[in-house]
């Protein structure tokens, strides 16, 4: 009878219940310790996340170039990575830093002129009157607009000054983030050398997390990074550098600010036409015939350059909508400064494509074996 009672008590599960509770407490403590260390690790790495992310994006975008250079230098990856880093520092970062600092100087000069009341639209050239049949009307409209522009500046002096001050503050932040950009380029060289091992590690993690679908997401993310970085950022940088060189060659006023505006317009897929077209019109009004003609002949190919390069540089087309890229540019700039201008559209583009692929999974191909129902 006593033995039966003991068996009944054991059958009630009290010892097993205690063991289960202890196991749950142990799991809770274990996950708590892991979460605590993960949080501490994140706080340590957080200041460098944008630098690491942009370095990884550069490595993915430049890897085909790295492979080509590595073959040319006899398989020496370190030499190829060094050449790419030096090229990025000379071709990209140096002109970009010059544009940012020139834009800051132009904004400062504008604030000074606004304070001293020296900002004015120049009067129309006398030779415009000779343009038949509307030369006289254009001359009068030009001078009328110049007079009213000066009056408008005086009327809205305070709001314009406040807005220009905010722009100058953000530009100064861009200047300080040039060092972060340089650090990203240097880290990109390390990622290029170790890319195969890093790619293998990322694929292992993706397979552990999402199985075959996780590996597909990694491939999709890589393709999106290449498309956005080459087809959006790469072409934008090329058009911006060409515009900047043209502005320097023809001594265009406020060329730093205009070049920076061209860069933003190119990243958000509008193109440099909104800046080049008014400059072409202004050139024909104010410059000699030969200078205006040469400026126009150089501006037209630069304005349409993206239409020829995008089909070459973008594989399978760019599926990221322009509002996503625009949001990435603005949000990235406010969050991470100069690096964010490049990082924002790429990160949002990758997230958009991954979200679209998750929401609309592709049907299985015919060569895959059909799933067997239980």
DSSP string covering 229-261:
IIIIIIHHHHHHHHHHHHHHHTT-TTHHHHHHH
Tokens 């129902």 correspond to what residue? 373
With 0-12 CB in 10 A as exposed, 13-18 as middle and 19+ as buried, what is 327?
middle
Domain positions in the chain: 48-359
pLDDT per residue as tens digits for the range 181-240:
788 888 988 888 887 788 787 777 777 766 777 777 777 777 778 777 777 788 888 888
Above pLDDT 70, what percent of the chain?
Answer: 71
Measure Cα distances from 247 to 65, 158, 220, 270, 357 in Å. Answer: 30, 30, 39, 19, 43
Secondary structure (H, E, C), 86-101 = HHHHHHHHHHHHHHHH
User: Which tokens in the block code for residue 42?
Assistant: 């994140």
DSSP secondary-structure letter at 268? Answer: T
Has this prediction a pTM greater than 0.85? no
Per-residue pLDDT of the chain (374 residues; tens, 9 = 90+): 455 544 444 445 455 566 677 777 777 787 788 888 878 877 887 778 878 888 888 888 888 888 888 888 888 888 889 999 888 888 777 777 777 677 667 767 766 766 666 666 666 666 676 666 667 777 777 777 767 666 666 666 666 666 666 666 666 666 566 777 788 888 988 888 887 788 787 777 777 766 777 777 777 777 778 777 777 788 888 888 899 889 989 988 878 778 888 888 888 778 898 999 989 988 887 888 888 899 999 999 999 888 887 776 665 555 677 788 778 877 877 777 667 777 788 888 888 887 887 777 655 444 444 433 33
């Amino acid at each position: 009878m006593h033995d039966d009672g003991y068996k009944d008590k054991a059958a009630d599960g009290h010892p097993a219940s205690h063991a289960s509770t202890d196991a749950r407490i142990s799991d809770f403590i274990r996950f708590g310790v892991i979460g605590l260390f993960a949080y501490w690790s994140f706080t340590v790495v957080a200041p460098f996340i944008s630098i690491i992310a942009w370095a990884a994006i550069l490595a993915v975008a430049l890897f085909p170039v790295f492979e080509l250079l590595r073959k040319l230098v006899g398989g020496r990856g370190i030499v190829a990575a060094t050449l790419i880093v030096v090229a990025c520092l000379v071709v990209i970062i140096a002109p970009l830093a010059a544009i940012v600092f020139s834009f800051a100087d132009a904004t400062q000069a504008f604030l000074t002129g606004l304070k001293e009341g020296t900002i004015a639209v120049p009067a129309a050239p006398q030779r415009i009157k000779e343009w038949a049949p509307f030369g006289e009307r254009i001359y009068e409209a030009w001078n009328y607009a110049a007079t009213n522009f000066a009056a408008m500046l005086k009327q809205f002096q305070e709001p314009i000054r406040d807005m220009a001050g905010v722009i100058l503050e953000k530009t100064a932040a861009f200047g300080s983030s040039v060092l972060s950009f340089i650090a990203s380029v240097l880290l990109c060289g390390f990622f290029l050398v170790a890319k195969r091992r890093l790619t293998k590690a990322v694929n292992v993690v993706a397979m552990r997390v999402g199985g075959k679908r996780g590996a597909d997401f990694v491939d999709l993310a890589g393709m999106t990074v290449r498309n956005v970085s080459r087809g959006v950022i790469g072409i934008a940088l090329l058009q911006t550098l060409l515009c900047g060189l043209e502005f320097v060659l023809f001594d265009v006023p406020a060329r730093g600010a205009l070049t920076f505006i061209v860069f933003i317009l190119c990243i958000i897929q509008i193109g440099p036409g909104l800046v080049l077209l008014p400059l072409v019109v202004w050139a024909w009004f104010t410059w000699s015939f030969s200078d205006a003609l040469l400026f126009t002949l150089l501006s037209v190919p630069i304005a349409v350059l993206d239409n020829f390069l995008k089909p070459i540089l973008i594989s399978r087309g760019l599926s990221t909508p322009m509002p996503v890229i625009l949001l990435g540019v603005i949000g990235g700039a406010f969050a991470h400064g100069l690096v964010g201008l490049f990082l924002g559209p790429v990160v949002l583009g990758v997230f958009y494509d991954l979200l679209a692929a998750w929401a609309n999974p592709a049907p299985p191909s015919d060569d895959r074996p059909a799933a067997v129902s239980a």
